[in-house]
Amino acid sequence: MAFPGHPTSASIKQQCSIGESTIPAGTLVAIDWARSSWLQLFVRVTSDASGIEGLVHPQFVALPHRDQPSSTSFTSHDTSWTFDAVFDPSFTGCQLPLHFSTTPLIVDSNLQSLVWPLHVYNQKAFVVHGSTHRLETLRQDLHQFDVSALIQNASRTIAWLKQTRPPYRMQYLDVSSPDIAAACYAAGHSLYFNPSPEDRYIRAICADLGLNFTSGLLDGGIGGDIELFAVQSKHHTPWHFDAQHNFTVQLTGTKEWSYAKGPLTDPMSNLHLSSSNTASVLVEDTLAHAMAGAADLTPPTSSFETVTLRPGSVLYLPAGYWHSVTSFDEASQPAWRERPDFSQGPDHARAQWKARLGALATTIQAMADEVDAVFPDALFQEPDGDGDDAAAVRTLEPSEDSTSELVTTQHNPLEYTIAMGGYRKFADGCKAETQTTVRVPSGLKPVVEVLRVAAAGTTWTLGALEEQVPDAATLLLSPLRSLVDLLVQSGYLQVTDDPKLR
């Protein structure tokens, strides 16, 4: 039987027909959302071994109680609105005007009703459940949702890795190679990357909503981005909130979102309490939120809402909303774990169980055949000495067109922030994608300042930088090399073969 909590699980609430078979009320079924449409659901009977499957009208199907709306109507004071174009196509639950006010214009009370998104924007979560048909344009632009093709064509890929020991924090890694990204994904880790048509889609969202909130940046860019998430097996993202307004489109599979209104309506930065990358930044972010008036930065434990997104669902979440996300692998209820059909006697049940275990053995063998891709040779190679990036004879220079910055911190002259991914846009409303704070010994500060203020085209060798360290401070050479390695890895410096020295 399908697990009751799985979002593909449902039941027949009224007797109906699938092909030539009559399905009684109460029959458990699994919904194949990818093969369903606005008007028909593709279901498979799971309460017995009949294998009956086919299309039925949504009026005959009941979703699990957890996926039903908490109320049949809502008001402007609610923190969440949900529309379901499949199970409630008439939107009977809505008690508010969907487009324009029918009353005379009175600025005090009716201005927002002239443009109905203002009832929602930065006010509440908004969910619209549709079907996969609305995804066809996205499917064409995004390589048919093929993860391998998306990895090869992404402008940037981040891997989310979960620590294997308590407290099991999430750690993100900026992956420089598509092959490494593919290996991380094959090993069960999650990826997110930036697809190429993101500018067009961001501008389209703004145009459709009539809210032109991304076109005013001084550098001519846009104040947002599109991140495509690829999840292998079940994945959980702990509670956090973002500084950005979040529009989520579910492409394949299902995800459960839990969310609640946060302590701030316009936070200046994200708050990811469970990420191991932000240990140094977390203190700064927490202080900034507290100074902005956040009385409590503890994630919710009971007072929150939950919704399951299926292919074609769209979720809008305002900036500053706490949210936690769990993805469901469609294979998380594999056939070999289903209860055999005992109604036809022990021999049939044993044969059915044996066949399922045989299929499982085939799957395990296929995984074993792909072990070289999951554990590539590069994972086992020892570094050569101090590393090629830190070799004393190699030439270093500031990276061309780099989005990384080396920034001084105001509260400590020996601390620097390496900000990657859009720091130059920070003053215009964009937070850097990644920030790493490092503390340098006082003896290295003059050398670090040379690196920080250098003009484009300036070059050094590591040996030349080491010569600037006083003879009495030879213990600083190792920290200097580590810092240079970090600046190369973050994209602030690049290694060249240019023999020029400074």
pLDDT digits (tens, 9 = 90+) for 397-439: 887 655 577 777 767 788 887 776 544 443 344 444 556 778 8
- CATH number (domain holding residue 440): 3.90.930
Q: Which domain holds residue 45?
A: 9-66
Mean pLDDT of 165-192: 77
Please give the share of the chain, as a percent, with pLDDT higher than 70. 68
Provide the mean pLDDT of the chain: 74
pLDDT, position 382: 56
Residues 55 and 185 in one domain: no
Residue 379 inside a domain? The answer is no
Q: Do 133 and 224 belong to one domain? A: yes
Q: 380 lies in a domain?
A: no
| pLDDT over 60 at 94, yes or no | no
Amino acid 101: pLDDT = 44
Q: 370 lies in a domain?
A: yes
- Is the residue at 160 inside a domain? yes
Q: Are residues 172 and 219 in the same domain?
A: yes
The residue among 257 and 482 whose pLDDT is bigger is 257
Q: What does the pLDDT look like over 282-307, one tens digit per residue?
A: 667 777 777 777 777 788 888 889 88
In a domain, 75, yes or no: no
pLDDT band at 200 (very low <50, low <70, confident <90, very high): confident
Residue 501 lies in a domain: no
CATH number at residue 316: 2.60.120.650
**290 plus 351 within the same structural domain:** no
Instruction: Please tell me the pTM assigned to this model.
Output: 0.61
Give the end of a domain, one of 40, 66, 92: 66
Choose one of 292, 311, 328: the last residue of a domain: 328
For the cut 50, the answer to whether the pLDDT of residue 4 exceeds it is no
Does 1 fall in a domain?
Answer: no
CATH number, domain containing residue 39: 2.30.30
Q: Are residues 347 and 324 in the same domain?
A: no
**Least confident segment among 203-212, 272-281, 449-458:** 272-281
Q: Model confidence at 72, in pLDDT bands (50, 70, 90)? A: low
Q: Tell me how far apart the alpha carbons of residues 363 and 4 are, in angstroms, rounded to a whole number.
A: 25
316/265 same-domain check: yes
Q: What pLDDT score was predicted for residue 68?
A: 55
What is the rounded distance in angstroms from the CA atom of residue 258 to the CA atom of residue 104? 39
pLDDT of residue 294: 78
Q: Are residues 28 and 159 in the same domain?
A: no
Mean pLDDT of 321-327: 90
Q: Kindly state whether residue 73 falls inside one of the protein's structural domains.
A: no
pLDDT score for 258: 92
Burial category of 157 from C-beta neighbours within 10 Å (exposed 0-12, middle 13-18, buried 19 and up)? buried
pLDDT mean over 326-355: 70
pLDDT higher than 80, residue 122: yes
7: confidence class by pLDDT, cuts 50, 70, 90: low
Q: Cα(224)–Cα(232) distance, rounded to whole angstroms?
A: 26
| Res 315 pLDDT > 90 | yes
pLDDT at 495 over 90: no
Q: Are 450 and 365 members of one domain? A: no
Residues 92 and 142 in one domain: yes
Alpha-carbon gap, residue 94 to 88, rounded angstroms = 11
Q: Domain count of the chain?
A: 4
Q: Same domain for 316 and 350?
A: no
Query: What percent of the chain is predicted at pLDDT more than 90?
Result: 6
CA dist., res. 116 & res. 127, Å (int): 15
Sheet harboring 125-129: ordered strands across? 80-84, 125-129, 314-317, 246-249
Q: Are residues 135 and 283 in the same domain?
A: yes
Domain endpoint, select from 19, 34, 66: 66
Check if the beta carbon of residue 188 is closer than 8 Å to that of residue 208.
Answer: no
121 and 227 share a domain?
yes
Selection from 435, 398, 389, 402 nearest residue 416 by Cα: 435
Section 11-40 average pLDDT = 87
Q: How confident is the model at residue 55 (pLDDT cuts 50, 70, 90)?
A: very high
